[in-house]
Amino acid sequence: MSGLPGGAAAREGGGALLVVGDVVTDVVARHRGPLASGTDTVAVIRTLPGGAGANVACWAAHRGCADVRLLGRVGADAAAWHERELIASGVRPRLVVDPQAPTGTVICLVDTGAAAERTFLTDSGASLRLGPEDWSEALLDGVGRLHLSGYLLFSGTGRALVRTAVASARARGVPVSLDPASAGFLVELGVERFMALVEGVDVLLPSRDEACLLTGLPDGADAAAALSRRVPLVVAKQGADGALVARDGAVLASVPAAPATPRDTTGAGDAFTGAFLAALLTGADPGAAAAEGCRAGALAVERVGGRPPVGGGGTEPSESAGSAECPKSPEPSGPSEPSGCSGPSGCSGPPGPSVDDGQAAGDPARAG
């Protein structure tokens, strides 16, 4: 396996971005106004690839990170489709196929008459079963930054994986970032439990609601400052108000949002995170990186779904009320042939994209 050791890549700047997190299927239903209880509500419905971790990886690649890798867990029902979609977005996926659970599914209800705000119905499926047995020290070879999806913290296996991955990254000098992911799930997990679990994380990327929940403070700036006394760098996403960068108990920068006309706010925070991390890997300071994140978030809210456009085009598939673009039938499960490297960085780092059978013996991605 070629490439700089993780710590060397981090010290020299650049290196790959490794994202560990959820890969799910999004069913996005766009409607206008309140749902009509007990009867029909007209909606435009599409089935799209999603997942906070996968979205972050795709946006990082879209915003110029040449080597983005993703470790996730999916069911056999949609493994091949998700792999194809990730590769098309410039991500090098390492997907473990769960032998029992289906791919996670999220129903996104988007009210187009209320600033495109969304409500999620979540069945995490196989993504919550990602665990330390899916980790390998070799995943950090050539990695400049490790990003963890906060959804990992909402299952026992995910929490164990976070502890393992953070310890590995710290031992190799690789900075770690984490996005809390869900204010609703944070309430169930508990604030102090969350803060104990993120010990060792270098960058925390909460939303305004998550930052306020984690600190008990009603003001977003006060909450970001307070969090930065416990995590070295806090970048708090403020939605239409941009982002705040805080360190050592003080807000260092307030970054304005980029102008946008929202269609669907699904994945806007993931877009911010992916672009922010891509900018950090090029040597940008946190304020400049946050500005990149705001620009990506503006692009995201003008699209349906949580992913960036594939390739150079910005057009989207046509929409029709009540229809859905469904994934193709999956190919037989089991390891696929590595398909090489994507992006201009060449073939440094781990093998090319592959889908791993969750029961395969001797698989290097499941060693360690």
- Kindly report, residue by residue over 73-85, the tens digit of the pLDDT: 999 999 999 999 9
**Averaged pLDDT for residues 313-324:** 37
Distance, in Å, from the CA atom of 172 to the CA atom of 35, rounded to the nearest integer, reads 51
In which band, very low, low, confident or very high, does the pLDDT at 310 lie, cut at 50, 70 and 90? confident
The amino acid occupying position 159 is R
Distance, in Å, from the CA atom of 19 to the CA atom of 138, rounded to the nearest integer, reads 14
Distance, in Å, from the CA atom of 353 to the CA atom of 10, rounded to the nearest integer, reads 23
In which band, very low, low, confident or very high, does the pLDDT at 112 lie, cut at 50, 70 and 90? confident
**Averaged pLDDT for residues 44-63:** 96
Q: Are 185 and 122 in contact (CB under 8 A)?
A: no
Q: Are 234 and 217 in contact (CB under 8 A)?
A: no
For residue 164 the two structure tokens come to 């393992």
Q: Could you write out the DSSP letters of every residue in 128-183?
A: GG--GGG--GGGGTTEEEEEEEGGGGGSHHHHHHHHHHHHHHHHTT--EEEE---H
Largest interatomic CA distance in the chain: 59
Poorest-pLDDT segment among 100-104, 106-110, 340-344 = 340-344
| Closest residue by Cα to residue 130 from 159, 168, 93 | 159
CA distances from 16 to 26, 179, 344, 362 (A): 27, 18, 12, 25
Residue 65 pLDDT exceeds 80: yes
What is the percent of the chain where pLDDT is above 90?
A: 71
- Kindly report, residue by residue over 143-179, the tens digit of the pLDDT: 999 999 999 999 999 999 999 999 999 999 999 999 9
- Kindly report, residue by residue over 256-276, the tens digit of the pLDDT: 999 999 888 888 999 999 999
CA distances from 53 to 5, 6, 145, 179, 363 (A): 23, 20, 14, 9, 23
